[in-house]
Chains A and B, each alone.
Chain A
């Protein structure tokens, strides 16, 4: 048999299972074919998470409300950290709502392999379906919390607070996309590594907590001395939260290049995360 013959024959097979998959061999088309499954997982997670709780979707609101309350008391009243003339609850809520979406994406996707081991051991579907659906499920939570933020915003505006909503709010989808990319990317990396190192998932919960304090959630970037700002800007979450505040509250320091840098970092992380995830996915069943 000549080489062209065997090549022609190979093309006739609809599925070829080989020992290794290349680092760059991500099956995008297959992922697209399973889009219905993504939608059904989103539905499942959303329905099941709140079906059996007494307060139902109210949990989505209580979480940011209480966090904002605690921040207002601790960082506002006690520590007296400036909020750039923005009313304190509004300032903290804006940070909390944004941060919560990112933290959700990262925390939940980082458990992909360990919490779906049973499912992954019994049936094949592109494993990326799970983290992608997680990121979308979190978007629903975000929408509800964002509505809460809008209600707060409307109330303070009516009270005559010094906040300024500008046309720049159209940037919100982009900000969400960046957070999803960053959270998904890191989450994929961590979940791939947790197949070998179980203790890593503990570190993630803790790490996300610390990361929040390194991001401008409880203080504005303007409080940071100018000489040090460049360090903060390397953290993509800083320009994202600052842009959000700048668009919705009219306060915040952000420059376009900072946001562009954040976008670059986020997508870089996403790509790296997907590649690592894809590499691990094939032999995952052997290590757990």
Chain B
């Protein structure tokens, strides 16, 4: 088999600060000031200072010397945490932006799907949008006409095909959009996490469609932090960390590698600004540990999991009955469950200035998927003053596992949480 995609030492640099300069007069102002030997009035002083110690010249390398190959018919999963460079890589491969250095070579017709329904127009009918969207994705008019009936059938919106799309429900729109995308017949398919749209049943339909593509010998590059999907769809995996490629192997090995390394330090949240509360107590780091005490960012359903919130209290004020809580949101930002030390009846009485709130969850009751971990610290349960809260402090990838211990893997479509129950048959 020959190579379908070859990525050679690709790097991408973003210049911070330059992006915000949008006005011609500001540029002229800066030039004029420099010409007279005065300081530039448009340099963000604070910003420059703050970033100075981290990165010189306000540069940021989203990708650094990334190189890999994908063979024909192979499906490669690219995994990594938020900000690891996944979307930048995707943008380069889709020609939305150019690399700063390096190059990418591809063989065959390429289609990239960063979003379903790109270019859908509200005023146009479903039919007109199928043609428009298909053409935007690179199909010719004849090709679309040939596949039109199949597309409409797949979407299940036959009745409304001549109705303007603005009268569609969001679900119908997504189905029609995906139907178009599913009928692209590229030799290389580059997909983002577009599958995280729509209801669970439709997501599964999309996954099935993609699995079929894999079997038909198409080369697929799948970028995701949905480890369960990567496990099912891909035959190979690479891991991106801080813009560098740190692992290349089978998808199972890649997931294992990602789960271990991406979490060695836990997620530092000391400098996060998306928090609320008075800040008298501040959580500085969030760690997740498995049964062996190793830091992880992935766990299987039914595994034991420990969430550790490292905190600091420099306010001088001591709290008599501190309440800490962790919460789990799923990908659609629905709160699946939360837990607080008040629930288990273990109040933290006068906690010291520094320490760790530890929440141990025996047998993780979550089906496979991605979860956002948040925390809250307040002075008292239930209505004490809010001290610190971040809704999305860390990510947890849950892979399919045997929660019930009976050898049954229950799919995510069967419910948002697992609960213990007992069954018996009573006879009359």
The digit string for A177-210, where 1 denotes a CB below 8 A from any CB of B, is 0000000000000000000111110000000000
Chain B min CB distance to A251 (Å):
41
Asked if B48 lies at the interface with its beta carbon under 8 angstroms from chain A, I say no
A40 to chain B: which residues have CB within 8 Å? 131-132, 135, 141
Closest to A48 in B: B123
| A window 1-40: CB within 8 A of B | 10, 12-21, 34, 36-37, 39-40
Quick check: A47 and B124 within 8 Å, CB to CB? Answer: yes
Closest to A195 in B: B22
Q: Which of B95-103, B202-210, B221-229 contacts A (4 or more CB under 8 A)?
A: B95-103
Quick check: A123 and B114 within 8 Å, CB to CB? Answer: yes
CA A19 – CA B99 in complex, angstroms?
5
B123 to chain A: which residues have CB within 8 Å? 47-48, 51-52
Q: Given that A36-B135, A197-B23 are contacting pairs, would A48 and B106 also be in contact in the complex, using a CB cutoff of 8 Å?
A: no
Quick check: A13 and B98 within 8 Å, CB to CB? Answer: no
A282 to chain B: which residues have CB within 8 Å? 97-98
B428 to chain A: which residues have CB within 8 Å? none
Report A's interface with B, CB cutoff 8 A.
Answer: 10, 12-21, 34, 36-37, 39-41, 43-44, 47-48, 51-52, 119-125, 196-200, 282-287
Beyond the given A34-B135, A196-B27, please list 9 additional residue pairs across the A-B interface where CB-CB is below 8 A: A15-B107, A17-B98, A19-B98, A19-B100, A19-B102, A20-B98, A43-B128, A123-B137, A285-B91
Chain B min CB distance to A201 (Å):
11
Identify which of A51, A125, A200 contacts B136 (C-beta below 8 A).
Answer: A125
Q: Given that A39-B141, A44-B128, A123-B94 are contacting pairs, would A200 and B24 also be in contact in the complex, using a CB cutoff of 8 Å?
A: yes
Asked if B417 lies at the interface with its beta carbon under 8 angstroms from chain A, I say no
Asked if B108 lies at the interface with its beta carbon under 8 angstroms from chain A, I say yes
Report B's interface with A, CB cutoff 8 A.
Answer: 14, 19, 21-25, 27, 91-110, 112, 114-115, 118-119, 121-124, 128, 131-132, 135-138, 140-141
Quick check: A124 and B100 within 8 Å, CB to CB? Answer: no
CA A40 – CA B144 in complex, angstroms?
12
Q: Given that A19-B100, A282-B98 are contacting pairs, would A123 and B106 also be in contact in the complex, using a CB cutoff of 8 Å?
A: no
Quick check: A197 and B128 within 8 Å, CB to CB? Answer: no
Among A125, A283, A286, max chain B CB count under 10 A is at A286
Q: Given that A48-B124, A119-B118 are contacting pairs, would A19 and B101 also be in contact in the complex, using a CB cutoff of 8 Å?
A: yes
Quick check: B24 and A199 within 8 Å, CB to CB? Answer: yes
CA A249 – CA B25 in complex, angstroms?
45
A287 to chain B: which residues have CB within 8 Å? 19
A283 to chain B: which residues have CB within 8 Å? 97-98
CA A283 – CA B104 in complex, angstroms?
16
Closest to B91 in A: A285
Quick check: B96 and A36 within 8 Å, CB to CB? Answer: no
Quick check: A197 and B136 within 8 Å, CB to CB? Answer: no
Closest to A124 in B: B95
Among A20, A44, A119, A122, max chain B CB count under 10 A is at A122
Quick check: B135 and A286 within 8 Å, CB to CB? Answer: no
CA A197 – CA B28 in complex, angstroms?
11
B137 to chain A: which residues have CB within 8 Å? 123
Closest to B24 in A: A197
Quick check: B98 and A12 within 8 Å, CB to CB? Answer: no
Quick check: B96 and A123 within 8 Å, CB to CB? Answer: yes
Closest to B106 in A: A15
Quick check: B121 and A286 within 8 Å, CB to CB? Answer: no
CA A40 – CA B114 in complex, angstroms?
21
CA A138 – CA B23 in complex, angstroms?
29
B141 to chain A: which residues have CB within 8 Å? 36, 39-40
Closest to B10 in A: A17
Closest to A119 in B: B119
Closest to B132 in A: A40
CA A51 – CA B121 in complex, angstroms?
12
Quick check: B112 and A123 within 8 Å, CB to CB? Answer: yes
CA A146 – CA B112 in complex, angstroms?
42
Q: Given that A12-B107, A16-B104 are contacting pairs, would A122 and B124 also be in contact in the complex, using a CB cutoff of 8 Å?
A: no
13 inter-chain pairs at a CB distance below 8 angstroms, sorted by A residue, are A14-B107, A15-B105, A15-B106, A17-B104, A19-B100, A20-B98, A123-B118, A125-B136, A196-B24, A198-B22, A199-B23, A199-B25, A284-B97
B122 to chain A: which residues have CB within 8 Å? 48
Chain B min CB distance to A43 (Å):
7
Chain B min CB distance to A217 (Å):
28
CA A242 – CA B104 in complex, angstroms?
52
Chain A min CB distance to B127 (Å):
12
Chain B min CB distance to A137 (Å):
14
Quick check: A17 and B119 within 8 Å, CB to CB? Answer: no
A286 to chain B: which residues have CB within 8 Å? 14, 19, 97
Which 8 pairs between the two chains have the least Cβ-Cβ distance? Answer: A197-B24, A17-B104, A124-B95, A37-B135, A48-B123, A36-B141, A285-B97, A15-B106
Chain A min CB distance to B134 (Å):
9
Closest to A39 in B: B141
Closest to A13 in B: B105
Closest to B97 in A: A285
B102 to chain A: which residues have CB within 8 Å? 19
